[in-house]
Homo-oligomer: A and B are copies of this chain.
């Protein structure tokens, strides 16, 4: 989005950015995923964004199916919860964080992701499904798949 779309692009990354590419979107999802934030006012406080923008983003997330509104039984204030589709964005946020840690964190990592079971550092890897090897980013090629229409991306 960012208010609009990337129409000309036949590309899943563009489709994803239409949903979560606007300003604040990924930070809202980060807080929901890893900070356990669920309520309107808590998002506004944590992030310091304007409340009308927050309302617009949350509406968009609900409409896109990455969050759902939920009223805990008995009472009073509603929660915004990530759906499976929303939680599936975790790798995106972790990839951004990894990059920021490496290239924009002179004082060390502010936040560390840990394996809940054993407490170890979480690392993101590209793996080849065929040969099982770990892959460096420059060993990745692209190929057009069945969802491609027309000639261009």
Which residues of A does B touch, CB under 8 Å? 2, 6, 8-19, 21-23, 26-27, 30-31, 33-35, 46-48, 85, 87-131, 133, 135, 137-149, 152-153
A124–B16 Cα distance when bound, in Å, is 16
Q: Given known contacts A2-B2, A8-B47, A124-B126, is B108 in contact with A147 (CB within 8 Å)?
A: yes
Q: Check B140 against A129 for contact (C-beta < 8 Å).
A: no
Q: Check A143 against B114 for contact (C-beta < 8 Å).
A: yes
Q: Check A128 against B122 for contact (C-beta < 8 Å).
A: yes
Q: Check A140 against B114 for contact (C-beta < 8 Å).
A: yes
A96's partner among B17, B100, B127 (CB-CB below 8 A) is B17
Q: Check A11 against B97 for contact (C-beta < 8 Å).
A: yes
